[in-house]
Structure 1
Amino acid sequence: MNDYQQQDFPTAAVRHTAPTQQSRPGLRVTPAILSGASAVVVLMLFTVLFLLTRQPDKPAVPVAVATTRTAEPAPTEASPTEQATTSEPAPTGTATFTKTVDPCAVTDEDLVKKLTLFPDKSQIKAEECVWSTLAPGSGMPGNMQYRLEVYVKVFPGDLAAAQEQFLGQRQEAVLLARTSTPAEPPIGDASWTTLYTLPGDTGKGPTTATVGVRVSNAVIQVAYQRHVTEDPAGRLTKGALDVARSVAEKLGTSN
């Protein structure tokens, strides 16, 4: 080995330093990232605590609702108007009468005198004739005052119109009398009667019996009135029936 080989060469000292944060590759941790991570951790902790402490859902219990049932009204009797407008069968047959009729001419004069004693006739409407007992000044007491009204109307060729008029008159009579009854014995194709008393100024009536009749396409109505508070013997009803029957018969022979 020569001198050259054994000669020592000076060497440079190498300084070893620890790597710094800036020298490491990867994500850089900042205060904003640390703050966000902390918020996530806190949110997860609250979520876990909520799930651990939450009570299991209970099935919904239906709540009973108190209901009040309105009492149904008790059945009541039909009003007079409802009774009078009860559906009636449509009239059948052919219209018999073709000419108008004078009610004064088809009413029996002897029957009028019997029922009104001293009749005083008046006619304001073509289809209505009225007889009244002479005024009290003639010496007749108040309870001997009578009034007889006879209505006759023909509906040429129209049974339906006659039926409508017949039912309408019955309805008006029932509004006062509160009820109606079939005529006994029956008159014509259909008939009814009513009886009612009005108070009057002196408390003496009058009391009125009314009879309605339909004969084919003609309508008859008779009202017989007296200044009394009652008619126990039924004389007013009988008188009105007699006149209505007489007019119906006369009507059949006048056309």
Structure 2
Amino acid sequence: MNDNQGSIPTTAARNTAPTVVSGGTRPGLLVTPALFGGAMAAVVVMVFVVLFLVTREAEPARAVPPPKASVPVETETASEPTTPGEQEPAAEPEPTGAARFTKDVEPCPLVGEELTKKLVLFPQQSQIYKEECEWSLTGKVMLPDNMTHNLKVYVKVFGEGVGKAHEQFLARRQEASLLPRTFTPLVPPVGDASYSTLYSMTGGTNQGPTTATVGIRTSNALIEVEYQRRVPADPTGRLTRGATEVAVAVAKAVESAG
């Protein structure tokens, strides 16, 4: 055997696995995309659950309104307040006593010519009813509409007595106050009972007329005067003063004649 032969191994070399040295590092776990996605999903769910539990507040209890106090229902209907002009006059006791006047009275002679000229300017007298006399502007004179006047006097003696005269006094007063819806007692009072009313008729011409009415009862005689002018109002009270002047003069004449 030569030297070359001594260096050749007689047996084949065995392939052996490398020896693991104790105390060395452990190779890391293999993380796949599916595993990573599942883990992230779990984390997100946990975060939402925690946030929901932390931020959730108990809903406040709704306040229950206290029961409304019951209001008693009135069975009677309240009446609406009336204006002074719409109030019903208080019941007036029926007067008593003997009748003072026994004869009928002619109304036209009871008003003097001077007074009719003062109030009507150019009066023309007419009488349609026995108890009534009228003075209006004569047709011979042309005056503006606002200077047109009319005066009417009613006088009646009630032979039935004071009670009948008082009844008719109330009826005529009610009729005179229908449109103005009010009346005013005369101050100072005249006779046993007295009143005045004033009413202006409205219209497109703005010329009224405006009418003042004055009524007086003295014993069993009834006197009523209407004084009218074609104007939309009577701010100075001229018509009421004129009607009152005539009514007072007539009442004095009736008392003197009786």
Q: Deviations over 1:14-52 (max 9, x none)?
A: xxxxxxxxxxxxxxxxxxxxxxxxxxxxxxxxxxxxxxx
Match of 2:98, SS state, is coil
CA distance in 2, matches of 1:167, 1:78: 21
SS of the residue 1:152 aligns to: strand
The residue correspondences of 1:240-255 to structure 2 (distance < 5 A) are 240-255=243-258
Distance 1:182 1:69, change over 3 A: closer
Q: Which moved more, 1:240-249 or 1:183-192?
A: 183-192
The alignment partner of 1:181 has SS state of coil
**Aligned residue in 2 for 1:76:** 81
Secondary structure at the counterpart of residue 105 of structure 1: helix
**Does 2:239 align with 1:222?**
no
Q: Does 1:145 align with 2:148?
A: yes
Q: Are 1:123 and 2:127 counterparts?
A: yes
Could you tell me whether the CA contact under 8 Å between 2:146 and 2:231 is conserved in 1? yes
Residues of 1 paired with 2:154 and 2:250: CA distance? 10
Q: Determine the structure 2 residue equivalent to 1:174.
A: 177
2-structure distance, mates of 1:226, 1:238:
13
Hey, what does 1:52 align to over in structure 2? none
Deviation at 1:139, TM superposition (A): 2.5
Amino acid at match of 2:123: P
Match of 1:132 in 2: 136
Distance 2:129 2:119 in 1: 22
Structure 1 runs not aligned, ≥5 long = 1-66
Find the counterpart in structure 2 of residue 98 from structure 1. 102
For 2:191, what is the secondary structure of its paired residue?
coil
The superposition leaves residues 122-179 of structure 1 with CA deviations (integer Å, 9 ceiling, x where unpaired) of 11110000111124x7221110000000000000251111001100010001101110
CA–CA distance in structure 2, aligned partners of residues 95 and 114 of structure 1: 34
Over the matched positions of the two proteins, sequence identity in percent amounts to: 51
Residue 186 of structure 2 corresponds to residue 186 of structure 1: no
2:236 aligns to what? 233
The number of residues matched between the two structures is 188
Moved >4 Å (runs of 4+): 67-71, 78-82
Which runs of structure 2 are paired with 1:33-112 in the superposition (5 Å)? 69-70=74-75, 72-77=77-82, 83-84=88-89, 86-112=90-116
TM-score by length of 1: 0.68
CA RMSD of aligned residues (A): 2.1
